[in-house]
Amino acid sequence: MNSNSRLPIGLFDSGMGGLTVLKALAQRLPGEDLLYLGDTARLPYGTKGRDTIIRYTLKAAQKLVDMGVKMLVVACNTATAAALPVLREHFAPLPVLGVVEPGAQAAAAASRNGRIVVLATEATINGGAYQQAIAHIRPEATVLVRACNLFVPLAEEGWMNGPIVEGIARRYLEGFFDAPEGENQGTDATLPDTMLLGCTHYPLLQGALREVVGPEVNIVDSAATTAEFVAEELARLHLLHPEDQLADNATKKDRHGKSLFLTTDHVARFIRTGSLFLGRDMADGEVTLVDL
């Protein structure tokens, strides 16, 4: 057994969005301890320049590494797109995983007609990370993209549905899923059949997005796929927590790893909004204010 297997997995994001990845990871690997950093003082990353994003990302990652982790998960699409190679080089041999490749694989597999819409932040879209990743996996695919910068503050505010959120979503999606008059979306093969949520904040708005695109469109987020990638990589490196190596799934469910949370600004707000992302009430003692 690797001596580092009992160390926590470190995850970070610019804010709360990466909690969707943490939640999926806790469900997939209930024995693992998780350490999460939300850099809320610098939120959002998605409107910043690449050099700034890399600088912020290195500081966030360094904080987790200094606390002792066995793997870094960049639970932020913007940071993954801008800084993943830099992080891997800087922290080698520590394994560093991002969310873009898992999301791209899930979208490519879900699409029947190869027409995929990617919604993400401005920085992720401009960097071309998803376009390149999907093209590598499925070269014949047509990838349509749109930056949806208002989705992050909506999610951070806890505005997940309702006419205002749906109205903003409808404006962003205008032209993508509009079938010709007399036809419905599900019968027009020229329209996208899959929408990839290329920001970890966006799954919170999935209900509103579903109202806009209808039932025929596959909506894909990278959280569950990223959790599976993490599990496979930990197993390959012999870093799975001993409790997650148990063959008996019933026994695994009886063991719950600990989750600790760090934020760079406003603990009370993190607790309030983080509870929405996790689907449970967070306690004061779970969240610590840190300075990068």
Q: Is 194 annotated as ligand-binding? A: no
Query: Virtual CA dihedral for 182, 186, 192, 198, nearest 10 degrees?
Result: 130
Q: Is 77 annotated as ligand-binding? A: yes
Which positions ≥6 away from 139 have C-beta within 8 Å? none
Q: Is 46 annotated as ligand-binding? A: yes
Residue tagged active-site, from 199, 204, 227, 230: 199
Report how far residue 67's alpha carbon sits from residue 238's, in angstroms, rounded to the nearest whole number: 21
Q: Which residues of 33-63 are buried (b: 16+ CB within 10 A; e: fewer)?
A: bbbbbbbbbbbbbbebeeeebbebbbbbbeb
Q: Which helix (H) or strand (E) holds 144?
A: strand 142-147
Closest CA to 223 of 206, 239, 246: 206
Q: Is 52 annotated as ligand-binding? A: no
Catalytic residue check, 76 = yes
Q: Is 264 annotated as ligand-binding? A: no
Q: Residue for token digits 């922290």?
A: 91
Q: Is 78 annotated as ligand-binding? A: yes
DSSP string, 171-219: HHTTTTS-PPTT--GGG-TTS--EEEE-STTGGGGHHHHHHHH-TTSEE
Residue tagged active-site, from 34, 76, 104, 141: 76
- State the pairing for strand pair 259-263/287-289: parallel
Residue 268, CA distances (Å) to 19, 52, 85 in order: 16, 27, 34
The pair of three-digit structure tokens given for residue 209, joined into one six-digit string: 């997005």
The pair of three-digit structure tokens given for residue 131, joined into one six-digit string: 């376009």
Cα dihedral sign, 117-119-122-125: negative
DSSP string, 52-75: HHHHHHHHHHHHHHHH--SEEEE-
Q: Is 4 annotated as ligand-binding? A: no
Closest CA to 20 of 172, 202, 188: 202
Q: Is 14 annotated as ligand-binding? A: yes
Annotated binding site: 13-14, 45-46, 77-78, 200-201
Annotated binding site for substrate: 13-14, 45-46, 77-78, 200-201
Active-site residue set: 76, 199
